Amino acid sequence: MKIPRILLAAGASGSGKTLITCGLLQALVNRKMKVASFKCGPDYIDPMFHSRVIGTKSRNLDTFFTDGDTTRYLLGRNAADCDTAVMEGVMGFYDGVGGISTRASAYDLADTTDTPVILIVNSRGMSISLAAYIKGFLEYKKNSHIKGVIFNQMSPMLYPRMKKLVEEQLGVEVLGYVPKVEDCVIESRHLGLVLPEEIVDLKERLQKLAGVLEDTLEIDRILALAENAPDLNVPGSLSQKNPAFDFCLPQKLRIGMAKDEAFCFYYEDNFRLLQEMGAELVEFSPVHDAHLPKDLDGILLYGGYPELNGEALERNESMKTEIAQAINSGMPCMAECGGFMYLHEQMEDMDGISRKTCGVIPGKCFRTPKLTRFGYITLTAGQSVFGQKAEEIGEIPAHEFHYFDSENCGNDFHAAKPLSKRGWDCIHSTDSLLAGYPHLYYYGNPGIPRAFLLKCMEYHKTGRI
C-alpha cells in the first residue's frame, strides 16, 4: 500500500515536536493538501492540536498496545485517502517501555511502519556539538530510519554553516531550521499541554508559525522524503489476530458517551471500533446537560479534567443522580481515570475543595503532589469482565497517568509494569461496571468492547430504565 509518510522525532521531550508538527501540518493544509496525522504513544492532547489544524480527527499509533500488523493496519486505514501522513514522536526518539527498552518508542513505530524519520534537534546553546549529537542518534541503531534533520531554535546566521557541516560530515540531509518563535508557544499544565479550546488566538499562532516554516523549512524536500517511503504492508483484516474484531451486534445500541471540557481524553479509534461493533454513540455533557440522553443501553465515562470543573460537576445534581440511578439499576458502564473519579462519593478539585460527585463508588479522590502511577501496564482480570471469563479476555495492555488518587482504587484486576517487578491491584469490576484509573485502547484487546456491548445488549433486552 502506497502511503507517503514521515515521522517527526526528537532527542528529548521539550524539543519542539508538537509545535513544529502543528506548524508543518498547517503549512501543508495551506497548500491544499489532504493530510493524515498521528501521535506516537498514549497521548490525548497532542492529537487535539493536530485535529484543529487538519480539520479531521488525528489518531494514535502505539506499539505497546498493538502488534506490528495491527499498527500497520491502523496507519493504512486512517491514511488511505490522504496525500501524506505526518506522525509525531514521543519523548526521546529511542525512549520506550520501562526506560530501558526501545519498545513503544518513536523509533519502534518508525521501524514497525518503515517510516522515514526527521530528527528535530533543539540547537539552543550548541554549534559544532550538534554534529556529535546527531551522529549518536544516527548510529545507535543500525537502521535508525533517520533521513533528515531540522534544527529548532537556531539563528538564521548559524544555519547555513551548520547545514553544510552536518551534511558533509554525517551524510544526512538538513531540511531547514526554526528560529525562536516565542509568540507561537503552546502553554502547559499538570497533565501536559493546555487544551486547544483554551488558546484564544490558536489559529492565528499556527498560521504565523506556518508562514515562518514556509520560509525556513525545505517543505518540498520533506514531501519528497515522505513520497519515497517504502510501500506499507497492510493486512486486509484483523480477524485472524482476534475473532472479536469481527463481532457485530444484531441491532444498534445507544451508548451514552460523556464528552465536554471535563471528559475529553479518548482515542478516536476506540469510537470507530465500538461503532463497527454496532454501537450508536450519543454524546452528553456532565457539565452542561441536565439529563442523560433517552433510551441508553450503556454509559462511557472517559478521562479528562474533572478536577478543573469540580464546581460545575457538583452543581449538576440531576445529572449525577441519573448516572447513579442508571448504573445502580444495572446499566453497563465503563469509566476510566477522570470518569472513575466522577463516580466516587467525593472528589477533590484543583483548589483542594471536596466536591460531591455521583456516589456510585464509596470513598474520595484526592490530589497528590506528583504523578501517582504512570506509564504502561498490563492488566489481568481476577475473575470476569462484564460476565466474560478472565481467561477468555486475556491480558489487556493499558496505561495510567494521573496526579490524583483514590481511597478506593478497587482490586478486581492486577496491573503489572512491563520490564519491572512492580505491580498493584486496581479497578472495580462487577457484572455491569468496569471502573478504574487505567486507560484502555480497544484495538489492544477487542475482547473488552465486545464484552461491554454484549452486556449492553443483555440490558437492552431486560428493559431500559
What ranges do the domains of the chain cover?
Answer: 5-227, 243-462
Average pLDDT of span 141-170? 96
pLDDT value at position 87? Answer: 96
**Is residue 124 over pLDDT 80?**
yes
Mean pLDDT over the full length of the chain: 92
Within 10 A of 368 (CB to CB), how many other CB atoms are there?
Answer: 12
β-pair partners for 150? 120
Q: Is the pLDDT of residue 199 over 70?
A: no
Q: Does 389 score more than 90 pLDDT?
A: yes
Q: Distance between CA 54 and CA 81 in Å, rounded?
A: 14
In tens, the pLDDT along 333-375 reads 999 999 999 999 999 999 999 999 999 999 999 998 887 788 8
Query: Does the pLDDT at position 303 exceed 60?
Result: yes
What average pLDDT score do residues 70-93 get? Answer: 95
Look at residue 430 and tell me whether its pLDDT is greater than 80.
Answer: yes
pLDDT at 186: 56
Q: How far apart are CA 333 and CA 431, in angstroms?
A: 10
Catalytic: 337?
yes
Say which of 82, 184, 264, 337 is annotated catalytic.
Answer: 337
pLDDT in tens, 16-51: 888 899 899 999 999 999 999 999 988 777 777 777
pLDDT score for 141: 95
Per-residue confidence (pLDDT) for residue 168, from 0 to 100: 97
Q: What is the pLDDT of residue 196?
A: 56
CATH architecture for segment(s) 5-227: 3-Layer(aba) Sandwich (3.40)
Q: What is the mean pLDDT of residues 42-68?
A: 84
CATH number given to 243-462: 3.40.50.880
- pLDDT band at 191; cut points 50, 70, 90: very low
Q: Which three cell numbers stand for residue 215?
A: 520560509
Residue 197 confidence class, pLDDT cut points 50, 70, 90: low
Q: Give the predicted TM-score (pTM) of the model.
A: 0.92
Q: Distance of CA 309 to CAs 68, 267, 415, Å? A: 39, 21, 29
Q: Comparing 5-227 with 243-462, is the CATH topology the same?
A: yes
- pLDDT given for residue 21 in this prediction: 92
pLDDT at 412: 96
For 372-387, write each residue's pLDDT tens digit: 788 899 999 998 999 9
pLDDT value at position 195?
57
pLDDT interval class at 190 (50, 70, 90): very low
Task: Note the pLDDT of residue 237.
Answer: 83
Q: What pLDDT digit, counting tens, does each position of 225-237 carry?
A: 999 999 999 988 8
pLDDT surpassing 80 at residue 435: yes
- Please check whether residue 280 is in contact with residue 254, taking contact to mean a CB–CB distance below 8 angstroms: yes
